[in-house]
Amino acid sequence: MLADLRTRIHALERGSSTFPPSLEPSQSPRRQSGWTLGVPDFDHRLAGGFDAAALHELKPEHRTGAVSGAISGNWAAALGFALRLAVRRLRGLAPHPDCAPRILWCWPSVLARELGVPYGHGLSILGLDPSACLFAETARASDALWAMEEGLRSGSMALVIGVLGEAELTPSRRLSLAAAERRTPCLIVTDPRLPAAGSTATRWRIGARASAPHPFDAAAPGAARYALTLERCRHGPLVSEPLSLLVEWSDETHRFRVAPAMADRAHASRRAGRGAA
């Protein structure tokens, strides 16, 4: 019993997920979840996929002097990215005969009024069943944090998402511990002008970009595109530079992929490298 407690305490001190010693490392909750982006470069940096028992932070891009429209667009991009990660999360879970997986979305009223509430029909088009989404709008940010922690500790959620101005060290630590304890992932979307949250497994910077060309109508928007930067990855390989890529979302496969123009440049760079060798 003492040895097991020491193992769990050591895991919590390292900020990693706790799992029974009998579980092989290759079968850890992070790898069992199948929660990936679908972009090989990012999934490799994530050591195979998102840690499904941890806290992850999403921050909109922020540029000094940017106009309000650009700021709103980057907030929308971060929220859209969070919802698409929710789709990926649900698709990676094995079906359960007794209960359908649910997504809990928490935020204070001030942000709900400023950013707008997700639309049921839009969620369906995205690949999320609106009946699987629970929205908690609170009077204060502290109430939203409480609802998120309770949702994580309930063990009945597939994913908890919080939209907040800032997650200070103590609240973010509590969320991280609750996520690890119940092996339920948590995403927080925070204000880009405020400091990063602590105790996060990953931190992402998301920027809005023009959509891909529509294959059949030049006047219509195509696949949604995001400028993604993985700024922090606790479980990934040690690297000196963050990974940045332009990715787009496929409505058919419900996965991300590198935007074609960038993919072509990446292939050309690899070929040039082999030729120089």
Q: Is the pLDDT of residue 60 over 90?
A: yes
Reported as a pLDDT band with limits 50, 70 and 90, residue 257 is very high
| Per-residue pLDDT tens digits for 74-108 | 999 999 999 999 999 999 887 776 677 899 999 99
pLDDT at 95: 74
Q: What is the DSSP string of 172-209?
A: HHHHHHHHHHHT--EEEE--TTSPPPSS-SEEEEEEEE
How far is 250 from 38, CA to CA, in rounded Å? 10
Percent of the chain with pLDDT over 90: 66
* Whether this model's pTM surpasses 0.85: no
Domain ranges of the chain: 39-276
pLDDT at 229: 97
How far is 110 from 141, CA to CA, in rounded Å? 9
Record: fold of 39-276: Rossmann fold (3.40.50)
Helices (H), the chain: 2-14, 29-32, 40-45, 68-92, 109-115, 120-126, 141-154, 169-182, 260-276
Q: Does residue 24 contact residue 170 with C-beta atoms inside 8 Å? A: no
